[in-house]
Structure 1
């Protein structure tokens, strides 16, 4: 499991160009929101903090990998990236993490068309939790198999504790 830097760029709040840190190009992945003006750039965690790449509309987040699973479509192209970012009410972290680890992430990782599924923690920022899915098609998030995993009793119990949740579908940029 590998830690990452995540650069979030909100083009509506920035007029400048995004500057990636020196040494990041080899492992860098860039994603553009299919709706809205967000760009997410992932940089390997072993790259030094990109202090020169800040400014309006740009924020850097150090993400610690909590869990990563290959999906049934591993090895296929993954031109789409779905991200669920959330905080959770105080006292609900253990239930959220158990749900993701035991049911939710393995279930979504097993849906046909899922290339990879991973969870990250941003201990210094908010939202603190990120669930990231590399997908062969954007239609996967509305497929019956995907929706069945989202519709469990445990899911219904955990979701009311979510706060500051954002779901974004990205296309490789």
Structure 2
């Protein structure tokens, strides 16, 4: 009789360990995807030294992209055809400080608002991972911490824009 209980206890431990490893991998995958997605824009804001800076005046927005005349700092005159991803608070005629992605016609907003907006995918990933951390890994305090951090990042970027 004791052997059967030991066998069940050992299998429970193995299953529990396997569940924790699987949930840890899911949470890690969500966070890595959030950082990866955010870094594509954030790198141009965080590491903007040596990149072309300027000002974009929004002329029109369609299909999630805004365009308008771009006035770079330093040599070179204004250019048309530059585009920036449309955010929640873009109005026609508004001016933004931007940095140009190298070898493209895409611009990224700079400053605090641009930095927070670039990290929005990480905020969403933190919210998703918090459910896995709190429920799947049963680390409720850590899960709540991830949820609060993700929510704060999303709220701060919304208010900054």
TM-score (norm: length of structure 1) = 0.22
Whichever structure has more helix as a proportion of its residues is 2
Write 1 or 2 for the structure with the bigger share of strand: 1
